[in-house]
A = this chain, B = another copy of it.
Amino acid sequence: MAVKISSASASFDEEIDRLLMSKREISEDVDHIVRDILKDVEDRGDEAVLAYTAKFDRLSVASMDELKVTEDELNAAVAQVPTETYDALKLACDRIRAHHEKQLPESSSYMDPIGVELGSIWTPVEAVGVYVPGGLASYPSSVLMNVVPATVAGVERIVMVVPSPDGVLNPLVLAAAKLAGVTEIYRIGGAQAVGALAYGTQSIAPVSKIVGPGNAFVSAAKRRVFGRVGIDMIAGPSEILVVADEGNNPDWVAVDLLSQAEHDPVAQSILITDSPTLAEEVAVAVEKQLETLPRADVAGESWKNYGAIITVDDLEAAMALSNRFAPEHLELAVEDPDALLPLMRNAGAIFLGRYTPEAIGDYVGGSNHVLPTARSAKFSSGLSVLEFVKRSSILRCNPDNLAQIGPAAVKLAEAEGLGAHAKSVAIRLNR
């Protein structure tokens, strides 16, 4: 049973603070192991990657060639996928692509009042690596969410790495890779795969950016190669926060809460409502649904340890509280979500109204499901096309406007003690 907190309680603030501070991540200290693996991959390349793959994935092969997924294997995987599932994957892919196409920033420039030209040129990252976890957390939907924005951005080379412990690969994941537009796939994982992508090996050319979720080893490796390559966020356990009024079906709210809880025993599901009645009804509904849920063990543990039902005086208070949680997913299951939306300050993705369960955004809504967790929506955004492009600024002066603004630059350069800076402007003023 989740914790129940009421704003009527004298200890409300304290209880909320406790909830906000609760650490849900088990931070395994794998950094020294990862450092050694990365160093080894940087030094020995393929040889090191093959050795770690044999050791960790129990997959012994003679050369990297054998770990590269061929076009035939890809087609065979697609053939294995039931038609209905393939069609669903295709619908998801098309909808994700259509939405992300609207995110492409446009290069532009303008003249300022004195004729200086300023602007931005957006170009795609040339090569991107996408990490896809093996085993249970190997989700085809995540492949779409990570790869499609890269293809929309115009990334030419998209290298997917996915470990195949004991040689086993999920055909759906390969089908998603093909649909989305991955250009190379290697059956490698862990820190060794991150190292191969960042440093390159004899067989794998290096990439400029690495995205995608992974276990503690993968996260530590991404953090270490950051700077050498770009990385996306370090993803934490999933979260949902539902702001709900009285007019909800408690079963609907309950299953939405459980849909995050079933991800992970350290996932977090929170309901904030202005209706004590709904609070009670949802609490009951959750317990009831747990009786029949296939992943009840996982969901139940998450709900018991990290779930919360919070009652507040009004929905404005609910929004203020939600902003402090900065949830990955925020459902506004209320009569008039548009009235609450302007109060939102921090959230990864927002699901409006009673007919937008979070799970629709996980698959076919079209928006991205790679979202900031663990309060990081306070400073970062979900994955988008912007993650796969970069901006070069442009500046153009002519003799006249350089004469107008140049002297100030000379003054500031002198004040900073940078003589060549000053001279590089001054020399162009003395014509």
Render A55-91 as a binary contact track against B, CB cut-off 8 A, 1 for contact: 0000000000000000000000000000011011101
By the criterion CB–CB under 8 Å, are A139 and B376 in contact? no
Copies of this protein in the complex: 2
* Chain B CB within 8 A of A39 CB: no
Judge whether A102 and B110 touch: CB under 8 Å. Answer: yes
**A421 → B minimal CB distance (Å):** 4
Task: Indicate if A162 sits at the interface (CB-CB under 8 A).
Answer: no
Of A46-54, A308-316, A361-369, which binds chain B? A361-369
Chain B, Cβ-Cβ closest to A124: B345
Chain B residue contacts of A357, Cβ below 8 A = 424-425, 428
Distance (whole angstroms) from the CB of A424 to the closest CB of chain B: 4
Which chain B residues lie closer than 8 Å to A255 at the CB level? Answer: 420, 423-424, 427
With A359-B409, A362-B421 known to touch, is A140 a contact of B415 (CB < 8 Å)?
Answer: yes
Instruction: Specify which of A226, A251, A391, A415 lies most central, judged by the most chain B CB atoms within 10 Å of its CB.
Output: A415
Are B256 and A126 in touch, CB under 8 angstroms? Answer: no
Residues of A that sit less than 8 Å from B by CB = 84-85, 87-89, 91-92, 95, 98-99, 102-103, 110, 112, 116-118, 120-121, 123, 125-126, 136, 139-141, 172, 208-209, 223, 226-227, 229-230, 233-234, 251-252, 255-256, 258-259, 261-263, 289, 293-295, 299, 330, 337, 341, 344-368, 371-372, 374, 376-382, 384, 386, 390-399, 402, 405-409, 411-413, 415-425, 427-428
Name the residue in A98, A358, A378, A393 with the highest tally of chain B Cβ atoms < 10 Å from its Cβ. Answer: A393
CA distance A419 to B428 in the complex (A): 69
A294: B residues at CB distance < 8 A = 417, 419
A349, A371, A425 — most chain B CB neighbours (10 Å): A425
25 contacts between A and B (CB under 8 A): A88-B411, A139-B416, A209-B379, A230-B376, A252-B424, A252-B427, A252-B428, A255-B427, A259-B423, A262-B420, A293-B420, A293-B423, A295-B418, A349-B394, A350-B394, A351-B394, A353-B397, A355-B397, A359-B409, A359-B421, A359-B422, A360-B395, A360-B406, A360-B409, A382-B392
> What is the minimal beta-carbon distance from A39 to any residue of chain B, in angstroms?
13
Contact present for B411 and A366 (CB under 8 Å): no
Besides A85-B415, A356-B396, A381-B390, 6 more A-B contacts (Cβ < 8 Å) are A349-B393, A349-B394, A357-B424, A357-B428, A359-B420, A363-B409
Q: Is the CB of B397 within 8 A of A365?
A: yes
* CB-nearest residue of chain B to A353: B396
CB-contact partner of A293 in B372, B419, B427, under 8 A: B419
With A141-B412, A409-B363, A412-B141: A420-B377 Cβ-Cβ less than 8 Å: no
A407: chain B residues at CB < 8 Å are 88
Q: State the Cβ distance, A378 to closest chain B Cβ, in Å.
A: 4
CB atoms of B355 and A427 under 8 A apart: no
Contact A125-B420, Cβ < 8 Å, known A350-B393, A355-B399, A415-B140: no
The one of B87, B116, B223, B354 that contacts A408, using a Cβ cutoff of 8 Å: B87
Bound-complex Cα distance A424 to B399 (A): 65
Q: In the assembled complex, which residues on chain B have CB atoms less than 8 Å from the CB atom of A423?
A: 255, 259, 289, 293
Bound CA span A350–B208, Å: 20
Question: Known: A140-B416, A350-B121. Is A427-B251 also a contact (CB below 8 A)?
Answer: yes
Whether A348 contacts B424 in the complex (CB less than 8 A), given A118-B99, A209-B379, comes out as no
CA distance A123 to B126 in the complex (A): 29
